[in-house]
Amino acid sequence: MRPRRRFSPAQASVLLGAVAILAFSLAPYLWTVLSSLRPEAEIGLPRLLPGRWTLENYTYVLRNTAFPRFFLNSSIVAATTIVLGLALAVPAAYAFSRYRFKGRQVLKFTLLLCYVFPSILLVTPLYSTMHRLGLIDTYLSMIVAYSTYAVPFCVWMLLGYFDAIPPDLEEAAMVDGARRFEAFLRVILPLAMPGVVATAVFIFIFAWNEYLFALFFTTGDTVRTLPVGLQTFLAGDINVKWGAVNASAVITTLPLALVFLVAQRQLIRGLTAGAFKG
Amino acid sequence: MQSSPRARAVPYLLLAPAFTAILLIVAYPFGNAVWLSLHQAQLLRPHRTAFVGLAHFQRAFADPVFWEAVWNTGIWAAGTVATQLFIGLLIALVLNESFPGRGLVRATILLPWVTPSVVCAVIFMWMFNGSFGVINHLLRGAGIIDKPFPWLANSTTALPSAMTALIWHGFPFFALMILAALQAIPVELYEAARVDGAGPWRAFCHITLPLIMPTLLILTLLRTIWVSNHVDIPFVMTGGGPGYSSTTLALRTITIARVELDFGYASALSLLLATVLLGCAALYFTYLRYREQGDRP
């Protein structure tokens, strides 16, 4: 038997590239995880692995800080934003997909414009409005803002899924006596479910990660979300407990990592589909 | 289908919630920003809102900090987008080859993208830490520096350090979008090129690059807008300092609004930035329209 063929130089360089990509994507994250698993006394030492593995940074964060509260707040805001965001985006996407009406192009263009609209312009006036309405330090301020900002991207993403379902299907159901709304619920929605789930995942990631509006809309710990809470741990530069900060960073990302494990296929598809290619 | 007035109203009713929200949360604040930029409006003095015309804009143009922020915004946006484009292209080219574990690598690179921007900032603050960051450890171990370097507290390295974090956060988007464009190129083109005796480099320049150019162009425009808007990472990592060395225009807007509570001036600054960015958006729309017409013979 011939010995197994060695890798050609071209194949070897591709594999080398793949290893480099993995290292580039994961190394910063791994360093944070490793730093979160060592005792505070070991935190500045130039060694890769902890001398003593410990979860004390995690117990400290969960017992002695407002972090559990931030986690709860983020969960409430993200869950509600998903529901409200879908409630706004699903009917809109269905209308664009199934009806031809006056002003359709203009409205679609408006959506595209909102997608590229510089959000920095909205922070100050929206903060001033929320302040006037007494909505500072409420979940509502964040939920309303996030679900609206998610609309353009979500409509575009859902539109792709709705357009892929042949209109004959719901017309057949309607011939059988179902009203359009029933036909939508019984025929279209189940078929578009993968798209709806993918859209929900995107809303979740957006709402969970959002920082700037949350920073302006919250003044205390009661409704503060994780990203803003995490940043407050860094205030007072000198005495930053880096072990605890790293543990908080890991906890903040954990739900996203789970979602990403479960839904990575939809994520990749949504990412490339939702990029507004015209 | 039937076209009774009631049936004709259905699509508008379906669109009403979404567009009402947009009207209230995007259009109204936008109008408000324009109004604020022409008025004296400070949170702590709500009764003193006087019309000041273009005074805020004059103040900006006379302010050296504004011009430093403009310069920093240019470096920030151009440097970040160009690097992400380059890294994204390299990664996409590797992922376009078939090798064992390709799906796993493709999924793994999404991790930086789903990581919250503030977590990215924390990860890189920790790595760039001036006393015991891992980057200082590595450089000292390699004998390149002999004492720890304060990356985030040095006016030359603060902005590039923050850019590094943002580049890491955003490269997966570039890589996956470019990969999708690469996979849409018919294999026959490369086979024909090989028959004609073209090497891999010539095939790349004459087939790959022209065919993925539309994607590269769209990515550059969209991400320039997004990156110029981005404040989370520099706000958390450097706060714009030391001095104003890592202050971008977007960050300056936020500081004026949040620390000085001067909404008039902050709105004027954000309008100036938005004007440039809406210019990018106009280019993007022009391009989309041009391509749409090209698609229909």
In tens, the pLDDT along A146-162 reads 999 999 989 988 988 88
What is the distance, to the nearest Å, from the Cα of residue B153 to the centroid of all Cα atoms in its chain?
24
Instruction: Please give the Cα distance from A129 to A145 (Å, whole number).
Output: 12
Q: What is the mean pLDDT of residues A5-21?
A: 82
Is residue B234 a contact partner of residue B128, using CB atoms and an 8 Å limit?
no
Band (pLDDT 50/70/90 cuts) for residue A94 is very high
Band (pLDDT 50/70/90 cuts) for residue A68 is very high
Residue A276 predicted with pLDDT over 50: no
The DSSP output letter for A49 is S
Is residue A55 a contact partner of residue A272, using CB atoms and an 8 Å limit?
no
What was the pLDDT predicted at B39?
85
Per-state percent for chain A, helix, strand, coil, to nearest 5? 75, 0, 25
CA angle A21, A27, A33 (to 5 degrees): 145
What was the pLDDT predicted at A198?
87
Nearest CA in chain B to A20: B91
Nearest CA in chain B to A100: B11
* Contact (CB<8Å) B29/A126: yes
Of A42-51, A203-212, B115-124, minimum mean pLDDT range: A42-51
Neighbours of B164 (CB within 10 A): 23
Q: What is the mean pLDDT of residues A35-47?
A: 83
Three-class DSSP labels, B71-135: HHHHHHHHHHHHHHHHHHHHHHHHHCCCCCCHHHHHHHCHHHHHCCHHHHHHHHHHHCCCCCCHH
What was the pLDDT predicted at A236?
57
b/e A204-231 (16+ beta carbons within 10 angstroms → b): bbbbbbbbbbbbbbbeebebbbbbbbbb
- Domain range A66-232, its CATH number among 3.10.270.10, 3.40.50.880, 2.40.30.10, 1.10.3720.10: 1.10.3720.10
Instruction: Please give the Cα distance from B32 to B264 (Å, whole number).
Output: 10
Residues 52-81 of A with CB under 8 A from B: none
Instruction: Please give the Cα distance from A93 to B214 (Å, whole number).
Output: 26
What was the pLDDT predicted at B297?
37
* Contact (CB<8Å) B14/A92: yes
Band (pLDDT 50/70/90 cuts) for residue A277 is very low
Question: Can you name the residues that pair with B282 across neighbouring β-strands?
Answer: none
What was the pLDDT predicted at B289?
77
Domains, chain B, ordered by start? 63-295 (1.10.3720.10)
Band (pLDDT 50/70/90 cuts) for residue A272 is low
Q: What is the mean pLDDT of residues B195-220?
A: 87
Nearest CA in chain A to B24: A148
Nearest CA in chain B to A227: B118
Cα–Cα distance list, A85 to A77, A90, A148, B39, B290 (Å): 11, 8, 7, 34, 32
Q: What is the mean pLDDT of residues B220-230?
A: 90
How far apart are the CA of B250 and the nearest CA of chain A, in angstroms? 7
Residue A90 predicted with pLDDT over 90: yes
How far apart are the CA of B186 and the nearest CA of chain A, in angstroms? 19
Phi and psi at A260, nearest 5°, equal -70, -35
Q: Each residue of B21-47: pLDDT tens digit?
A: 999 988 899 998 888 888 887 766 666
Altogether, the residues listed in chain B come to a count of 297
What was the pLDDT predicted at B46?
64
b/e A93-117 (16+ beta carbons within 10 angstroms → b): bbbbbbbeeeeeeebeebbbebbbb
Q: Each residue of A234-243: pLDDT tens digit?
A: 875 567 888 8
Q: Each residue of B130-169: pLDDT tens digit?
A: 888 888 888 888 888 888 888 988 889 999 999 999 999 9
Non-local CB neighbours of B50 within 8 Å, separated by 6+ positions = B39, B40
Residue A278 predicted with pLDDT over 70: no
* Contact (CB<8Å) A118/B106: no
Instruction: Please give the Cα distance from A149 to A199 (Å, whole number).
Output: 13
Instruction: Please give the Cα distance from A35 to A24 (Å, whole number).
Output: 18
What was the pLDDT predicted at B296?
46
Is residue A120 a contact partner of residue B229, using CB atoms and an 8 Å limit?
yes
Chain mean pLDDT for chain B: 87
* Contact (CB<8Å) A211/B291: no
Q: Each residue of B258-292: pLDDT tens digit?
A: 888 888 889 999 999 988 888 888 888 888 777 76
Contacts of A144 in chain B (CB under 8 A): 21, 25
Is residue A32 a contact partner of residue A250, using CB atoms and an 8 Å limit?
yes
Please state the pTM of the whole predicted model. Answer: 0.89
Number of inter-chain CB pairs under 8 A, A vs B? 269
* Contact (CB<8Å) B270/A268: no
Residue A256 predicted with pLDDT over 70: yes
What was the pLDDT predicted at A217?
92
